[in-house]
Amino acid sequence: MTIAVNPSGTKAIDPPIQQKPLSFDEFFACYGGDNRYELIDGEVFDLEPTGQHEEVAAFITTKLCVRIDGLGLPWFVLQRGLLRPANTGITAFRPDVAIVDRDELIQEPLWADQSILTLGTSIKLIAEVVSSNWQNDYARKVEDYAVLGIPEYWIADYAGLGGTRHIGKPKQPTLSICTLVDGDYEIQQFRGDQAIVSPTFPDLKLTAEQVLRGGRYRL
């Protein structure tokens, strides 16, 4: 790993070449302040955000914040935080969008000093915008977020990158909404002008295309 200083004077970290799995503490020492990376089973992953990736995440954040405010809920969107499952020391997810319940934070052991969550009960909804590391979004995170008890998980695959076993063939932009039922996710998929269905925000009036295009109008 190489650490350089860019013209603004801040440290820039080159993509890592790992020699061994990293612990959470090692990962946090190197990458804790950089929201580009997350840790899964000791391996550092570059989240590879593109401009469209950021637009989709920002659109989801904006729409959900409007509903939270309108309903007067004690929830907020986590900006730069990590989700470190309490049962492992070598994994730290960095969700693109995470709706946090402020009333549950009293139970979080690290929150007062660091922007780190360890309990699924603190989170009402997570949305991941799919990048080239799509396997993590469709497989690993589906499993781990369900184990954590997160009630709702969105997979926003705006470029249709996921495998055909996940989004079918021919592949196309797809929004998968996973709802926790008896410890497992039931997955409903939305495409094009289909109106999405969110159990957490049942009055949310959006189509799959609006979400997957980050609010842009059809060209």
Residue 23 has pLDDT above 70, yes or no: yes
Confidence at 218, pLDDT banded by 50, 70, 90: low
Does 35 fall in a domain?
A: no
Question: Domain containing 58 — which CATH number?
Answer: 3.90.1570.10
Residue 5 has pLDDT above 50, yes or no: no
Does 160 fall in a domain?
A: yes
What CA–CA distance (Å, rounded) separates 199 from 176? 13
Does 27 fall in a domain?
A: no
Task: Between 217 and 159, name the one with better pLDDT.
Answer: 159
- pLDDT tens column, 34-62: 888 999 999 999 988 899 999 999 999 99
Confidence at 1, pLDDT banded by 50, 70, 90: very low
Does 153 fall in a domain?
A: yes
* Total structural domains within the chain: 1
- pLDDT tens column, 162-197: 999 999 999 999 999 999 999 999 999 999 999 999
Task: Between 141 and 216, name the one with better pLDDT.
Answer: 141
Q: How far apart are the first and last CA of the chain?
A: 42
- pLDDT tens column, 93-105: 999 999 999 999 9
Structural domain boundaries, residue 107: 49-212
Residue 205 has pLDDT above 70, yes or no: yes
Does 33 fall in a domain?
A: no
Does 217 fall in a domain?
A: no
Does 166 fall in a domain?
A: yes
Does 108 fall in a domain?
A: yes
